Amino acid sequence: QVQLVESGGGLVQAGGSLRLSCAASGSILSINAMGWYRQAPGKQRELVALITSGGTTNYTDSVKGRSTISRDNAKNTVFLQMNSLNPEDTGVYYCHADGISKWPIRYYEVWGQGTLVTVSS
């Protein structure tokens, strides 16, 4: 079984910065892509940023240029640095990962419990 634990959310003023972290643990043989999604009040969950095992990144247009996703493969951890935050960034941020587990050897897809980011104007 594979678990994700997020941290780093909180309340920040517009223009501020936050760094989210997500650590994967459990029966991990490999991790493919790791990503961050967010769900704003009354809206559907959307992709914010994604990073593959090879380091290729993808961002939603609204965060391009002010957010950076990175990962530490040795620690099975992904980070999301967000700068110049605005109230539209408010939401619950979920970490997501997929890959192959050790025991049993099979594909997994897992979500974290979510961390709340609130940006005040």
Residue 9 and residue 112: Cα distance in Å, rounded?
13
In this predicted structure, the answer to whether residue 66 has a pLDDT above a threshold of 90 is: yes
78 band by pLDDT with thresholds 50, 70 and 90: very high
Dihedrals phi, psi of 119, to nearest 5 degrees = -110, 120
Q: From 119, 121, 113, 120, select the one nearest 22 (Cα to Cα).
A: 113
pLDDT at 94: 98
In this predicted structure, the answer to whether residue 103 has a pLDDT above a threshold of 90 is: no
Region 59-80: mean pLDDT is 97
Region 33-61: mean pLDDT is 96
